Amino acid sequence: MHLVQLAERHIMIFIPEKEYNELHNQNLVPLNININVNDFLSDMIEYDSFFKQWGDKFTDLPRYGLPLVNKNGRLDNDPEPVCWPLDRWNFVNLGYNDTPEDFTKFYKDIQNNINTDKLELEIDFTEPTSALNMKSLEPLNEIKKYMVRSCILKWNIKAHFKPHYDTWHPVRWLRLWGTTNPDGMYLRFKSEDTTDGFCMWNETTKEHEIYKAEKNIEPGRLYLINTLKWHDAFAFKDDVYQFFIALNVDSYDHLLHGTI
Ligand SMILES: [Fe+2]
């Protein structure tokens, strides 16, 4: 009896393509998790000095990160990989030459499953920092147990992310996203529809592509975001905060049944 039960118990280590697609039935799936923007902005006064410049490149851009879940729970790590694009962190630490050609090779290697066992992944970051305890983030309480690499992003005018994607099959984490100020930024996904959108140069695919901005984003609401698709983002106002939250796959049932 016990043996049968054990054999039938299914432990998910990745989310199969069919389940992933069903869950991400649109680019941004609204969740019933809402962060009060005014309360959050008040909490930010206390944490302002803990934001770090995002990554080691484009440091002229006003992009800052505050760790919520990292490797050791500290807010003073330097460097802090949670506040780097993780692809850039892996690229630098795996010893590729710092050239655009090698960065393209790095992306192609991932697609071909080369070196992927050496990558640091979102799920390798599991320790909450004190910033996760701020009062305005209490709406996250139900999902805190699933949270892996997560941070708050703070962007000012001209901060942006170029076209990229953040996950690939087999999918081992899910990503939530939200912003305090949807009128101060664009979040855009690559679109096959060429009748509307922005033409962007994709440095990795070496193609011009159409990116379309998401509409009707509510301030403070969290969304399940499909970061398997190419996307980019741009701030055209100051003080645009974004919730940048990864969840391990144990959150699958909760997201499927609990919060949507
Ligand atoms: Fe992204």
Residue 110 has a pLDDT of 83
- 227 CA from centroid of ligand 1 (Å): 6
- 24 CA from centroid of ligand 1 (Å): 15
DSSP 8-state class, residue 235: E
101-115, 210-224, 239-253, range with the lowest pLDDT: 101-115
CB 147 within 8 A of CB 140: yes
Q: Domain count for the chain, please give it.
A: 1
- 165 CA from centroid of ligand 1 (Å): 6
- 54 CA from centroid of ligand 1 (Å): 13
**Does some domain include residue 159?**
yes
**Does some domain include residue 124?**
yes
- 149 CA from centroid of ligand 1 (Å): 13
- 225 CA from centroid of ligand 1 (Å): 9
Q: Largest Cα–Cα distance of the chain, in whole Å?
A: 63
- 259 CA from centroid of ligand 1 (Å): 22
Q: What is the mean pLDDT of the chain?
A: 92
Residue 237 has a pLDDT of 98
- 5 CA from centroid of ligand 1 (Å): 39
Q: Which domain holds residue 245?
A: 4-83+117-256
- 46 CA from centroid of ligand 1 (Å): 27
CB 229 within 8 A of CB 27: yes
Residues written for the chain: 260
The enclosing H or E element of 103 equals helix 100-111
**Does some domain include residue 68?**
yes
CB 52 within 8 A of CB 65: yes
- Local structure of 191: helix, strand or coil: coil
- 159 CA from centroid of ligand 1 (Å): 13
- 224 CA from centroid of ligand 1 (Å): 12
For the chain, the straight-line distance linking the first and the last C-alpha, in angstroms and rounded, comes to 36
Residues 6+ apart with CB under 8 A from 58: none
**Does some domain include residue 60?**
yes
In which residue are the tokens 């101060």 written? 184
Band (258; pLDDT cuts 50, 70, 90): low
- 4 CA from centroid of ligand 1 (Å): 42
CA contacts within 13 A on the Cβ side of 146: 20
**Does some domain include residue 148?**
yes
192: domain CATH number is: 2.60.120
| 76 has a pLDDT exceeding 70 | yes
- 243 CA from centroid of ligand 1 (Å): 12
- 232 CA from centroid of ligand 1 (Å): 7
Band (259; pLDDT cuts 50, 70, 90): low
Residues 6+ apart with CB under 8 A from 201: 207, 208, 209
Backbone angles phi, psi at 184, to 5 degrees: -110, 5
Interval 140-157 mean pLDDT? 97
Question: In this structure, what token pair is assigned to residue 177?
Answer: 């996203």
**Does some domain include residue 107?**
no
**Does some domain include residue 248?**
yes
- 7 CA from centroid of ligand 1 (Å): 37
Residues 16-56 have pLDDT tens digits of: 999 999 999 999 999 999 999 999 999 999 999 999 999 99
Question: In this structure, what token pair is assigned to residue 242?
Answer: 């974004």
- 6 CA from centroid of ligand 1 (Å): 37
Tell me the C-alpha distance between 39 and 164, whole Å: 32
**Does some domain include residue 94?**
no
pTM attached to this predicted model: 0.91
